[in-house]
Structure 1
């Protein structure tokens, strides 16, 4: 019997580094590699996968917690890298990835669809203080998974693109009160709270209320700040707000935590 859908693992999610793994019968890809090549390799080993089997890395934006290991892995395993034109320009101008063969560099423009082997990938823009940030919806055999972190808000346009996916990785970056009372400089707090910053717990929950549908089975909370959030608080906020909006939390779908340094189990969708 032919396998349908695809498998994924959130290798790492948090302010210290982010990486997402996805595989189909034909392709194995990373989205971002914001940790050292050595750490990414050990995270892949947690799900019994090897970096030499990867086909490509998709880049969401140029911040170091998303691209730290991209160049190293690409050179060592001869991987193709996909990013949009503006992101490539800033990564090249600032030599963020080191020396790469031109044949490894591919443009994947924001707002476009890419058929990559046996999976379709749709890119969409987000509101974040990077040059041209984009995230992705993965689609195969009627199943889909959406990645959406690193955005200050979710527009109606974004909500329309990501609605009724089978699974989500949604940002729950900070609790507003913890952030306000914390030790960050005021300028940094303003950046995080701005429309080009990060989603707080309530806004992440609000985004899910607007977008989940009857296909949705899994919601993963991502990009939690170590300094400005508490995992249990983020989880409780998401579940409570969804329950108050009359969604069947725990019955129709489940909410899951992610970690900055431990991979989630390899899961089929």
Structure 2
């Protein structure tokens, strides 16, 4: 099983997860060309993709969906409310709405030899979810666009082999930056985005001996930068109440405009 971030950031998101036999994408918020180039780098094309898992309807998660659907007729999975927004998103153009396949939070479904578990997140979208994907005894997850975390989120992310976790903003940069007040309140609110500090605090609940890789993702272009996210998350782990140190794990930042390393589990 492997996972690759093709792009992750406030301007566009697309994550590949796959086994030897089944290949899926989590979100398609970048251009079709960039998605194709990313797939090509790992020896695949759009024809190989068996499904696209949509977390929510914001443009940085669905921008390339229309072209992919028209070109390859790939099934699109999301909550019913999310798919209704996708169906009427004029920016996506005309595509076969029969490809839209509703799923329910906390109800597992199968895509080839991959078991997918959607779980609820709090974000300012109609019914957003994050995804945990399992093949045999190996599992990975993509968890972004969360205003906060709670015990439910912690439970959903236990026992992973690899995780792409939101580390969206530095609170001080956001508070003193150029965003209007209402937007700052939205990002900092319970239905906004996870800060660097909270990403590190959440990880303190998730670390275990078999966690091979942590990717920090969905960084804000204006209110964060890679080194700051990395160092803040490491510090939160090192001062946190858990038996591990940040040096016990492979942690890196997913690029906004570049592919991550291929994560094998």
TM-score range, shorter chain: over 0.9
Task: Report the CA distance shift for 1:188/1:102 in structure 2 as closer, same or farther (over 3 A).
Answer: closer
**1:60 is matched with which residue: 46, 50, 55?**
55
Q: Which runs of 4+ in 1 moved over 4 A?
A: none
Q: Is the 8 A contact 2:39 2:45 kept in 1?
A: yes
Residue 241 of structure 1, CA deviation: 1.5
Residue 97 of structure 1, CA deviation: 3.4
Structure 2 residue aligned with 1:125? 120
Structure 2 residue aligned with 1:197? 192
Q: Is the 8 A contact 1:221 1:255 kept in 2?
A: yes
Q: Is the 8 A contact 1:47 1:263 kept in 2?
A: no
Residue 257 of structure 1, CA deviation: 1.1
Q: Is the 8 A contact 1:8 1:267 kept in 2?
A: yes
Q: Is the 8 A contact 1:15 1:225 kept in 2?
A: yes
Q: TM-score, normalised by structure 1?
A: 0.94
Task: Report the CA distance shift for 1:82/1:34 in structure 2 as closer, same or farther (over 3 A).
Answer: same
Deviation string, structure 1 residues 142-201 (Cα, Å, up to 9, x no partner): 111111110100111111111121111111100000001111111111100000000010
Q: Is the 8 A contact 2:213 2:263 kept in 1?
A: no
Residue 240 of structure 1, CA deviation: 1.5
Q: Is the 8 A contact 1:164 1:214 kept in 2?
A: no
**1:172 is matched with which residue: 167, 171, 174?**
167
Distance in 2 (alpha carbons) for counterparts of 1:184 and 1:71:
30
Residue 16 of structure 1, CA deviation: 0.4
**2:245 is matched with which residue: 230, 245, 248?**
248
Distance in 2 (alpha carbons) for counterparts of 1:264 and 1:46:
11
The DSSP-based 3-state class of the residue aligned with 1:55 is: strand
Instruction: Number of aligned residue pairs: give it.
Output: 263
Kindly report the root-mean-square deviation, in angstroms, between the aligned alpha carbons of the 2 structures: 1.4
Alignment of 1:43-192 (within 5 A): 43-95=38-90, 97-192=92-187
Q: TM-score, normalised by structure 2?
A: 0.95
**2:15 is matched with which residue: 11, 20, 36?**
20
Structure 2, gaps ≥5 residues long: none
Residue 215 of structure 1, CA deviation: 2.1
